[in-house]
Amino acid sequence: MKKKVWIGVILALIAFVAVDKFLLPLYTSSGREATVPNVRNMTYDQAERTLGNAHLKAVRSYNVRYLPDVPADMVIDQVPAAASTVKPGRNVYLVLNRKDKPSYVIPDLTGRPEDEARQVLGRLGMTVAGVQIRAVSKPEEDGRVLSQSVPPNVTLVTGSTISLIIGKLEQEPAGMKRVVVPDVLGMSLDQARSIIIQNGLAAGKITYEKSALLVPNTVISQKPGANSFAQAGQTVEMTVATGE
């Protein structure tokens, strides 16, 4: 009889412990709520402690883009937002800046409108360092990228700079035909003269300059410059290298 009594007491104690330790907390916590604290601009460790004190769990995550002026360990956003009401134990995702600058492959921007090229580079975190305008004779090249300082398929870290050359179509004055001055640098004098004439211009004054480094009888400078506009029939002056 006594043995049965002790077994009953033990079973009762086990039942009490189960209710006290497991069932009762589940029942009471089902109606409890926690308010998410504001942890933005804290370090991750500070935010984790703050959330822990609020019975919430911090989960590390990273921002899509690298922010150059934000420390890597600073919380820049959180999900759920501050002041949200959630169940205790809920995960709170802390958005941190990337530790390392990401790298991207530079696309071919040739032929794209300037605005579009700037947007593409901006999405990659690149900066357009400068834009050079070059005269063009084809309407389809007006306002579009002719070349870029960094070739396509080169990998750069975000924040790098790129320069662009943009075409600009200049309107011809009434009754005047304009042509693009060819690039004759490095050509022999005879070849340069031939190219200039083929493009509707005339060879003008020739100046000779001694040089021990440059190939004799080659054009080392021209005026007007290459790819600029000139009136049809206008002369192109050239400087030609000569030997010692």
> Once rounded to an integer, what is the mean pLDDT over residues 83-98?
91
Task: Please choose, from the candidates 180, 198, 242, 189, the residue with its C-alpha nearest in 3D space to the C-alpha of residue 219.
Answer: 189
Q: What residues does 214 pair with on adjacent strands?
A: none
Indicate if the alpha-carbon torsion angle 227, 228, 229, 230 is positive or negative. negative
For strands 91-96 and 127-136, give the pairing.
unpaired
3-state helix, strand, coil split of the chain in percent (to 5) is: 25, 35, 40
Lowest-pLDDT range of 61-70, 131-140, 161-170, 215-224: 61-70
Question: In this model, does residue 5 exceed pLDDT 70?
Answer: no
Report residue 98's pLDDT band, with 50, 70 and 90 as the boundaries. Answer: confident
> Once rounded to an integer, what is the mean pLDDT over residues 25-31?
49
The span from the CA of 112 to the CA of 118, in Å, is 10
Report residue 11's pLDDT band, with 50, 70 and 90 as the boundaries. Answer: low
Question: In this model, does residue 48 exceed pLDDT 60?
Answer: yes
Question: In this model, does residue 22 exceed pLDDT 70?
Answer: no
Average pLDDT, the chain: 83
The span from the CA of 90 to the CA of 34, in Å, is 9
Give pLDDT tens digits for 157-214.
888 999 999 998 876 555 567 788 898 988 999 999 999 999 999 999 999 988 877 7
Q: Which pLDDT does position 14 carry in this prediction?
A: 59
